[in-house]
Amino acid sequence: MKLTILGYYGGYPFNGGGTSGYLIQSQGFNLMLDAGSGTLLALQKVLDPLQLDALLLSHYHQDHIADVGVLQYEWQLQTGPRKQDVLPIYGHMEDPLNFAALTWPAATIGKKYDPNSALELGPFVITFLRTIHPVPTFAIRIVEKKTGSVLVYTADSAAMPALNDFAAKANVLMVDTNFFANRTGQLWHMTAPQAGQLAHQAQVKTLILTHLPQITSFEELKQQASTKAGAAIKVLVAADEKNIEI
């Protein structure tokens, strides 16, 4: 499968970069994962949005859904050829108002996922894990059926031991790395050392730091994660990557 980073900042867009959003493609199936601010513009550079097969949302914070509304308008108003009549948008049902907003007439339809069950979507089998975050949020594990390749996305979460098993042996692990090591107090996201530690415990092949703080040089963040991840794990920063083959 191919991963394209569409946005990588936490909270708000910055310096030309959007907030969380990713395109995952396999065997002609185009899955968008989260749709943060600026991600529709980024998507349009690599794929006609009417060619999406599905959008999957980890939670309903704005830095993950800000572009859902304009994506719905594009599906409503754009007249080009489309892959299907309406775009399915998968979200959890624990927030009825936000879930209801996923349906837009003649454009998109909200589909619920059950976080306790596997979701089969095209070439993928997707499972979920509830994270530690102020609103219901689910980490997402995507297995490409044909190859067995695994992409794990922590979504937004404080550090939590259950992620070690959930992310086990992933080919690529994308971690909410919003903070440097010196961040104190109540954390709803991980620090760079915590991201590295998770990658180490889960024995993943590649760690991608994402949901980044609003800085322009990520060397120190990467260094802090790499020290804990260990030499066997390749550490990348989402801001520096465009396409990753998994």
Contact residues for Zn ion, defined by CB under 5 A: 10, 61, 63, 156
Residue 61 or 228: the one with the smaller Cβ distance to Zn ion is: 61
Minimum Å distance from CB 211 to Zn ion?
A: 6
If you count DSSP H runs as helices and E runs as strands, how many of each does the chain have, helices first? 7, 15
| Pair of tokens at residue 62 | 């704005």
Q: Is-contact 194 238, C-beta < 8 A?
A: no
Minimum Å distance from CB 87 to Zn ion?
A: 22
Residue 9 or 104: the one with the smaller Cβ distance to Zn ion is: 9
Determine the Cα–Cα distance for residues 61 and 26; give it in Å rounded to an integer: 27
Residue 8 or 75: the one with the smaller Cβ distance to Zn ion is: 8
| Pair of tokens at residue 148 | 């067995």
Residue 65 or 170: the one with the smaller Cβ distance to Zn ion is: 65
Minimum Å distance from CB 46 to Zn ion?
A: 22
Minimum Å distance from CB 148 to Zn ion?
A: 29
Greatest CA span in the chain, whole angstroms? 51
Minimum Å distance from CB 35 to Zn ion?
A: 12
Residue 109 or 132: the one with the smaller Cβ distance to Zn ion is: 132
Determine the Cα–Cα distance for residues 124 and 246; give it in Å rounded to an integer: 13
Determine the Cα–Cα distance for residues 238 and 207; give it in Å rounded to an integer: 10
